[in-house]
Structure 1
């Protein structure tokens, strides 16, 4: 019903469904009626998730309802015709929940630990190249195989297999978050943290804690995500006396997730603290790296400084930092996410042509990621609706590909 509505129109639609006046909703979020009227009529842009989360709470709807998620996942050559519904069936397998033997129906040898590692490497590589359809379709088969492998192992081998299963669940949660499937991502994170504890590996446990934090972020539970970041840091800190590069990377990326949570919670000092500690950790690591698929290093810290600045409304700071940041060595997924943030800052500063160029460049790198991200859809729809005269050929083509009007 609300797919083709603008964000402001969607807020008005839910407000009217609740039978509430603008005065009531504006009062609940500590704003004026004039402010809410401008939001609903499209005369003022709104893309700060902290404010959107407050509006969602006032309307008693989910954050996903307001930002029009999830979106239908397109079939691609990589995905075939097996996407999110198939993965949902795997994650909600009752045999796993009830503790029943999930491997009795399999009549083949389980995957070896090496095979699990190679397959998992391939899947995470696919995610970092923003091949979301490929990842979702392959996880449908990989997760049951990884579960089967765990069920047939014992001792150290079982702990290792559990760690790889946990990281598969983390990948599922990560890609589902990108697709707007917040509740299903939470399910995957929950399964993953269970498997991580069975691995008894602090690095894997720390990595899955970050996964849970991201799932909390996707549902608008920002204060809880901040608290979890602090707990995760406390859990990892005893292991940081003589840490390896992987542990440093997991610790640092957890702080980056926390910085976003704090920024969306309008907690400027905590966001800055998390970023500063992450920067010191990146300096300690000494370079940009990708241990355990974290893409952690000084560049990723810089990207998060831009993103948190935008969440806190510091547009000029984002413009000072974002366009100048060299992301050429980063993973595709990280480069595209940064490009969308820069486009957001440029659009807010009324530099729409430059912002459009950023989104088009990002689309060339990762069309799936741009198609499903809230920011790209919101920006393009806003530009089309507020354009004086007909939109340019480039803008219209982009809107058609993103299926927004």
Structure 2
């Protein structure tokens, strides 16, 4: 039993974990699509019976609870329900991250060679349906070589290598996301920030901040996520009128992260205002530009609008944005898969069960390893497989088996 569980009823556990996460009832209600009065009824024991499994999963996901026994007191569900299984290459990536070259020894590869390898890794990630498997094969050697280059050089070459190392850690964070390795994810996020600061490169710092903001938000620390994003924007403020496309794209990406965080907090006006700021930046980008780190681009703004509407739990607006952005030609298979999952969430808000399952199937076709590790997709699939309409359950269970949800 986790902390705070002894002697508590279900509602008391919900309140304990909500307060520990620093959430108001309004925030939690928004995240699970319920009213504030419903949350109050749960916490005060006025609900006649405990919520069904799909709602329990929503509560556990919102409260970042990994074992349902910490919420219910009498049932347990493993972490894979929320984060997906550990990837086979996870141990090799962990070893590479932890094996800092101290004392440094070995041959430092030329910066141009490391840069070419990292660029190729980004291209491979976006082109691959199984992007974690692709990255799992690339990252261990790339991490070791980048760490060695940053450790063994001095002055300007060291600063340049530090900027590259920060980006490598960002790529590693994308591999680690939604896996049972939160300790490792935080390690690379913090190391990326330190390396980026030492590089004295505003682009590297903005990129590291973007990754750190995501880590804070996914951990439920919305204040920290907002703060680091604002700091990232301040760090590149002097470059606001630059012609550098990469810095301009980072500016837009950070504005969208503020929109995302505001939406999570239920701040409708602020969320859409930040989205509009990001959209104005996107219009200044070349038509075909697609930033590999953040996916920021003109084409991604429709997908971002779906996310804002879904996070605000605005069913009608989610449906409208999903219809507009459904065919967006996103040039990245994992990002396309995630976009389809967000569209499935929009259908879920409207209780359009057939459309939810069909869209999740499209997400699986686009990028199997995206849906396999995405908590929202796993929860929606489980809900359809267990309590969905009878005619959909066989297909939902087939998908659940494919994403290792019922095995």
Q: Could you say which TM-score interval applies, normalised by the shorter chain? A: 0.7 to 0.9
Higher relative contact order (CA 8 A, sep 6+): 2
In 2, Cα distance between the equivalents of 1:249 and 1:343?
A: 27
| Partners of 1:347 and 1:355 within 8 A in 2 | yes
User: What are the equivalent positions in structure 2 for 1:5-404 lying under 5 Å apart?
Assistant: 17-25=5-13, 30=25, 31=39, 32-33=41-42, 40-42=51-53, 44=55, 47=58, 51-52=62-63, 68-75=81-88, 83-93=89-99, 95=100, 100-101=102-103, 103-104=104-105, 106=106, 109-128=107-126, 129-130=128-129, 131-179=131-179, 181-325=181-325, 326-389=327-390, 391-404=392-405
User: Per-residue displacement from partner, 1:91-142 (whole Å, max 9, x unpaired)?
Assistant: 233x56xxx42x32x3xx3211111011101222233235112213321111
| SS of residue matched to 1:159 | helix
| Shift in CA distance, 38/311, structure 1 to aligned 2, threshold 3 Å | farther
User: Per-residue displacement from partner, 1:207-260 (whole Å, max 9, x unpaired)?
Assistant: 101011111122111121011111111111111122411001111112222222
| Partners of 2:159 and 2:199 within 8 A in 1 | yes
| Partners of 1:167 and 1:204 within 8 A in 2 | yes
Could you list the runs of 4 or more consecutive aligned residues of structure 1 that deviate by over 6 angstroms after TM superposition?
13-16, 34-39, 64-67
User: Per-residue displacement from partner, 1:249-283 (whole Å, max 9, x unpaired)?
Assistant: 11111222222222222333332232121111111
**TM-score (ref. length: structure 2):** 0.82
| Partners of 1:303 and 1:338 within 8 A in 2 | yes
Once structures 1 and 2 are overlaid, which stretch shifts more, 243-252 or 256-265?
A: 256-265
1:404, distance to aligned residue in structure 2 (A): 2.3
In 1, Cα distance between the equivalents of 2:272 and 2:261?
A: 11
| SS of residue matched to 1:343 | helix
In 1, Cα distance between the equivalents of 2:328 and 2:66?
A: 34
1:3 — aligned with what? Answer: none
| SS of residue matched to 1:359 | helix
| Partners of 1:69 and 1:180 within 8 A in 2 | no
Once structures 1 and 2 are overlaid, which stretch shifts more, 309-318 or 130-139?
A: 130-139
In 1, Cα distance between the equivalents of 2:46 and 2:340?
A: 29
| RMSD (Å) for aligned C-alpha atoms | 3.0
In 2, Cα distance between the equivalents of 1:199 and 1:155?
A: 10
In 1, Cα distance between the equivalents of 2:399 and 2:46?
A: 30
Q: Which runs of 5+ in 2 are unaligned?
A: 19-24, 26-38
**Aligned residues between the structures:** 374
| Shift in CA distance, 35/312, structure 1 to aligned 2, threshold 3 Å | farther
Once structures 1 and 2 are overlaid, which stretch shifts more, 177-186 or 24-33?
A: 24-33
User: Per-residue displacement from partner, 1:314-340 (whole Å, max 9, x unpaired)?
Assistant: 121111011321322432122111100
| Partners of 1:69 and 1:181 within 8 A in 2 | no
| SS of residue matched to 2:236 | helix
| Shift in CA distance, 196/19, structure 1 to aligned 2, threshold 3 Å | same
